[in-house]
Structure 1
Amino acid sequence: MHDASADATTPPVQVDPTFDLLDRPVALESADDIVLTAPAPDAPTVDGRPVEDPRLIEALSVPQEFTRADVLDRVAKLGGVLRVLGGDGASKLIVASDVPEPSRTFAVLAGVRIGLLVEVPSAAADGASSATAPVADAETLTIRPHRDGEDTAEEGAHAFKTAIRTVRSHFEGVAVEGGGRARDLDRLVRDSRIQPAPSRLRDGTRRALVVAGEDVLLADAASYLLSLLQTD
């Protein structure tokens, strides 16, 4: 006979699909596996600055490859940036359909990692462009390409103003919008003072993704996240 009272006291299953896809394999010596590729950048940069030397432009204008350790590093760092900007388990992250790779994949994984509800609209639903996409509410962060003429520079004393790491961010030309303003993700991700977001178990029955209008629970999110990576 089934005991209904037992179900009422059974704690929810705790999961973290980003740990299973990134942290655990890295710890088990799969750090160097190539798991993500992206087209060559339209405008190569070094230390966040546009490259002008024709020979260097040619050398950098090649398809990009990322190991599992590379992806973990960028995902955890972006997760730390989003937390500093106010992201929490009650907030939503919209990743616009026109965000280029690899930024798009990093953003989806980072949002899931820190417990945001990540909305991934289809190109048709998003109007194929984020230029006029509205921000739903004050608790929503949106990752989208920079808009023409947009100023995302920080003003005054601010945690993101100085101490920038001289490493490539892979978020060049991408902004994060929230709280009525847009900020340059390239600059934020290269800020050495922002700590990467650690892995954390969460209730598997909570909504983790909205993919083309369809809800995906955290316990079921691994298959979609895996589809973003090129793994065997």
Structure 2
Amino acid sequence: MSDVQETSAGAETPAAQVDPTFDLLDRPVALEGADDIILSAPAPDTPTVDGRRVEDPRLIEALSVPQEFTRADVLDRVAKLGGVLRVLGGDGASKLLVSSDVPEPARTFAVLAGVRIGLVVELPVAAADGASSVTRPVVDAETLTIRAHRDGEETAEESPHAFKTAVRTVRSHFEGVAVEGGGQARDLDRLARDSRIVPAPSRRRDGSRRALVIDGEDVLLADVAQHLQGLLRTNGADGL
């Protein structure tokens, strides 16, 4: 898409540049809004640590509580996930597909991260019985997909990048979630906890670009802020 737009008089003017994740996250954090609670999510159905189901009853009790996230928490995870997606080829990807089976809060983080690094984020809508998607998104070689782990799935860890050792010990909140691209699926929890992957900065982009595809309907970057605000305002319980 061109970086200029035609005016009614035929003159060319620069397209409006916008940065919705900076306005929602980075700027308020810098202006003393870091501790504001902006997202909550239900308690996990199956508590996990490092992608494994928790068996200790005391740990299950400790993890089976609703989750709350400050603006700084959300920014930390969104920027880190953006960095992961860039390392996996997000800068050249055509879109990010966020599957309807991704639980909260990972689903919210994924949407914000995709918008942050300039991907078109596609959100297929689950069927009423939850068995399949109403929409059938096109998945090509340049699509990155964030989805739940499949039963018995082994995720690839071999890579020329530093993906094997998870240095961070804090919870990533991506347990049980995989990122798939280029024919390989990787454990997103491990990547998000690797401190050697650099968080992605925000950047202003052409507001006339597509940013979201929700149930087949395009949302331009200039209009996406209200959708992201609604996602946070609904506390992640209903999703997009």
The percent of aligned pairs where both chains have the same amino acid is 83
Check if 1:108 corresponds to 2:111.
yes
Structure 2 CA distance for partners of 1:113 and 1:140, relative to 1, 3 Å: same
Check if 1:177 corresponds to 2:200.
no
Check if 1:216 corresponds to 2:209.
no
- 118-127 or 67-76, which moves further after superposition? 118-127
- Unaligned residue ranges in structure 1 (runs of 5+): none
How far residue 162 of structure 1 moved from its aligned partner, in angstroms, is 1.6
2:23 match: 20
User: Of 52, 65, 69, which aligns to 2:68?
Assistant: 65
- The 3-state SS of whatever aligns with 1:108 is helix
- The 3-state SS of whatever aligns with 1:229 is helix
Tell me how far apart the structure 2 counterparts of residues 48 and 212 of structure 1 sit (CA, whole Å).
30
Residue pairs, 1:31-180, within 5 angstroms = 31-46=34-49, 50-88=53-91, 91-124=94-127, 128-129=131-132, 136-155=139-158, 158-180=161-183
Structure 2 CA distance for partners of 1:199 and 1:75, relative to 1, 3 Å: same
Structure 2 CA distance for partners of 1:125 and 1:164, relative to 1, 3 Å: farther
Tell me how far apart the structure 2 counterparts of residues 176 and 125 of structure 1 sit (CA, whole Å).
25
The alignment's TM-score, normalised by the length of structure 2, stands at 0.87
Tell me how far apart the structure 1 counterparts of residues 16 and 54 of structure 2 sit (CA, whole Å).
49
Tell me how far apart the structure 1 counterparts of residues 161 and 22 of structure 2 sit (CA, whole Å).
32
Consecutive aligned runs of 4 or more in structure 1 exceeding 4 Å deviation = 46-50, 125-130
User: Of 175, 199, 203, which aligns to 2:202?
Assistant: 199
The one-letter amino acid of 2:187's match is: D
Tell me how far apart the structure 1 counterparts of residues 186 and 129 of structure 2 sit (CA, whole Å).
21
How far residue 47 of structure 1 moved from its aligned partner, in angstroms, is 5.7
Tell me how far apart the structure 1 counterparts of residues 169 and 53 of structure 2 sit (CA, whole Å).
13
Structure 2 CA distance for partners of 1:134 and 1:122, relative to 1, 3 Å: closer
Structure 2 CA distance for partners of 1:153 and 1:138, relative to 1, 3 Å: closer
The one-letter amino acid of 1:35's match is: I
- 28-37 or 99-108, which moves further after superposition? 28-37
Tell me how far apart the structure 2 counterparts of residues 176 and 126 of structure 1 sit (CA, whole Å).
24
Check if 1:4 corresponds to 2:17.
no
Structure 2 CA distance for partners of 1:129 and 1:36, relative to 1, 3 Å: farther
Tell me, yes or no, if the aligned pair for 1:97 and 1:129 is still in contact at 8 Å. Answer: no
The one-letter amino acid of 1:80's match is: G
How far residue 164 of structure 1 moved from its aligned partner, in angstroms, is 2.5
Matched residues, number = 227
- The 3-state SS of whatever aligns with 2:154 is coil
Structure 2 CA distance for partners of 1:125 and 1:20, relative to 1, 3 Å: farther
Tell me, yes or no, if the aligned pair for 1:47 and 1:166 is still in contact at 8 Å. Answer: no
Structure 2 CA distance for partners of 1:128 and 1:95, relative to 1, 3 Å: farther
How far residue 68 of structure 1 moved from its aligned partner, in angstroms, is 0.8
Provide Cα deviations, 1:80-107, integer angstroms capped at 9, x if missing partner. 0000000126520000111110000000
- Unaligned residue ranges in structure 2 (runs of 5+): 1-6, 236-240
How far residue 3 of structure 1 moved from its aligned partner, in angstroms, is 7.1
**TM-align CA RMSD:** 2.4
Tell me, yes or no, if the aligned pair for 2:166 and 2:190 is still in contact at 8 Å. Answer: no
The one-letter amino acid of 2:224's match is: A
Tell me, yes or no, if the aligned pair for 1:209 and 1:221 is still in contact at 8 Å. Answer: yes
